[in-house]
């Protein structure tokens, strides 16, 4: 558990792994194989977050925090 009481789960870690592969530019076939799913729909439908890239771009527009 972390300081907020959240737990690491197998599926949470797997989603982070698959999302990291997507960020790295891994293709769909390789992604599906590395995720070890029977169906590519499972990989793309559940373990990926299609809005992740858009959210990251939005956050990156923020100015850096001021140092005190």
End-to-end CA distance of the chain: 31
The pLDDT of residue 45 is 82
- pTM for this one? 0.57
16-65 residue pLDDT tens: 888 888 878 888 889 889 989 888 888 888 776 666 666 667 777 888 88
pLDDT for the residue 27? 85
DSSP of the chain, one letter per residue? --TTS----HHHHHHHHHHHHHHTT--HHHHHHHHT-S-HHHHHHHS--TTHHHHHHHHHTSPPPPP-
């Amino acid at each position: 558990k972390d300081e907020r009481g959240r737990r690491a789960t197998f599926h949470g870690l797997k989603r982070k792994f698959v999302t990291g592969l997507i960020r790295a530019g891994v293709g769909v076939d390789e992604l599906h194989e590395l995720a070890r799913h029977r169906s590519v729909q499972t990989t793309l439908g559940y373990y990926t977050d299609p809005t992740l890239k858009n959210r990251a771009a939005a956050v990156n527009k923020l100015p850096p925090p001021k140092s005190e």
